[in-house]
Structure 1
Amino acid sequence: MRVVIVEDNVLLAEGLRLLLTTAGHEVVARVDNADAFVAAVDEHRPDVSIVDVRLPPSFRDEGIHAALRVRRAHPGQKVLVLSQYVEETYAGELLSDGRPGVGYLLKDRVARVEEFLDALDRVASGGTALDPEVVAQLLTRRHDPLAALTAREREVLDLMAQGYTNGEIAGKLVVTERAVHKHVGNIFAKLDLPPSDSGHRRVLAVLAYLG
């Protein structure tokens, strides 16, 4: 896959480049600010961009706003955002456009190479990848509405919100896909959500309810 890296930390940017090229991907551009990111996407139309939340000049939320600009200008563009800390507001902004192919991970996740590459693949293919820490904070913040869920249903909801399919959830929990499908149905029923079981839309529905 063709990737644009948007990161002002030279060491992290180079580490990402080496990780991606070793995994067989092509880094078509490596930039360190929002305007250069927008220009790189205009020029290269990558399969996915990896973007730091905090970029020059103010190091606040330039990366998020640049990602939103890119996705408005090029609706098919996929973006995986990296953040040093869990910042729920930024995650919400990124998901609010309703388009598929989006991810939000903590930078620590990059060190878990297989997990990171798996998340990147999901985003590039139009899926969703949310860091488990972000999901955990959303679940904690809206604890009461989840009181009706069983422990297993909470596990399934957690993995759903991270962007995993029913088949992938079944593999992680060592249960049948039919059992996962039943749990998903129960979750939507208990949370009074539309019974959609379609990838990104079901994740957005869950996150909309939780946050």
Structure 2
Amino acid sequence: MRVIVAEDAPLLRQGLVRLLEDLGVEVVAQVGDAQGLPELVAAHAPDAVLLDIRMPPTHTDEGVRAARAILARHPATGVLLLSQYVETSAAVEVLAREPRGFGYLLKERVADADELYGALKRVAAGQSAIDPDIVARLLARRRADSLLDGLTARELQVLALMAEGRSNEAISGRLGVSAKTLETHIRSVFTKLRLEPGLMDNRRVLAVLTYLRS
């Protein structure tokens, strides 16, 4: 896997590069700001970009804007945003616009190499990878009249894990249920969220968006 690292703190950037290289990831470029990132992606064609959400010069939404530009111009490249804090509005904004190949991870997860590597692999494969704490915060903010109110506790668990970008196999293992039982739960989620079968693979993305935006 080929990755670009964009992080303004030199020590953290060097640590991320070292960690990724130890995991067998090829870091094709590393930068301290988000300016020119789409052009850098065009030049190196990485599988994914690991990007801080707050970058120079204002340290506000430079990472978000860069993520949106990369996903729009280079759909084959995934983007994994890193944040020091739970900033739910940014996650929803980017995911709502470009739901495929986007991830949002808290920096504290970087200490877990498997978590970071797994998230990068998912966004590089065109899937989503949302931090569990961010998913929990978004769930706490959902509307009282949401379609989600019709889901059972187990169905909400399934949908939350789907929002994290977990595969069916991983969800089955986490919940301790069979693949067949999980498929039943997922079908029920789609039905209750009024996602018609004709939507095919998009139903999973739409279900996650319903969950995160409610």
TM-score calculated relative to the size of structure 2: 0.90
**Structure 1 match to 2:97:** 97
State how far apart, in whole Å, the 1-side matches of 2:99 and 2:142 are.
Answer: 24
**Structure 2 match to 1:178:** 180
Q: CA deviation at 1:204?
A: 3.8
Name the stretch that deviates more: 13-22 or 144-153: 144-153
State the superposition RMSD in angstroms.
1.8
- Structure 1: gaps (5+ residues): none
- Deviation sequence 1:37-87 (CA, Å, 0-9, x none): 233212111110000010000000001101111222222221111111111
**Structure 2 match to 1:123:** 123
**Structure 2 match to 1:60:** 60
State how far apart, in whole Å, the 1-side matches of 2:132 and 2:205 are.
Answer: 13
State how far apart, in whole Å, the 2-side matches of 1:150 and 1:190 are.
Answer: 10
Q: CA deviation at 1:110?
A: 0.8
State how far apart, in whole Å, the 2-side matches of 1:158 and 1:209 are.
Answer: 8
Whether contact under 8 Å (2:72, 2:98) holds in the other structure is no
Whether contact under 8 Å (1:54, 1:63) holds in the other structure is yes
Confirm whether residue 169 of structure 1 aligns to residue 165 of structure 2.
Answer: no
State how far apart, in whole Å, the 2-side matches of 1:98 and 1:72 are.
Answer: 7
Confirm whether residue 188 of structure 1 aligns to residue 183 of structure 2.
Answer: no
**Structure 2 match to 1:87:** 87
State how far apart, in whole Å, the 1-side matches of 2:130 and 2:4 are.
Answer: 19
Name the stretch that deviates more: 94-103 or 154-163: 94-103
State how far apart, in whole Å, the 1-side matches of 2:99 and 2:209 are.
Answer: 14
TM-score calculated relative to the size of structure 1: 0.92
Percent of aligned pairs with the same amino acid: 48
Whether contact under 8 Å (1:159, 1:169) holds in the other structure is yes
CA change 1:68–1:210 in 2 (3 A) is closer
Q: CA deviation at 1:197?
A: 6.4
Confirm whether residue 147 of structure 1 aligns to residue 116 of structure 2.
Answer: no
Aligned residues: 210
Q: CA deviation at 1:186?
A: 1.4
Q: Which amino acid aligns with 1:175?
A: V
- Structure 2: gaps (5+ residues): none
Name segments (4+ residues, structure 1) moved above 6 Å: none
- SS of 2:98 mapped into structure 1: coil
State how far apart, in whole Å, the 2-side matches of 1:208 and 1:189 are.
Answer: 13
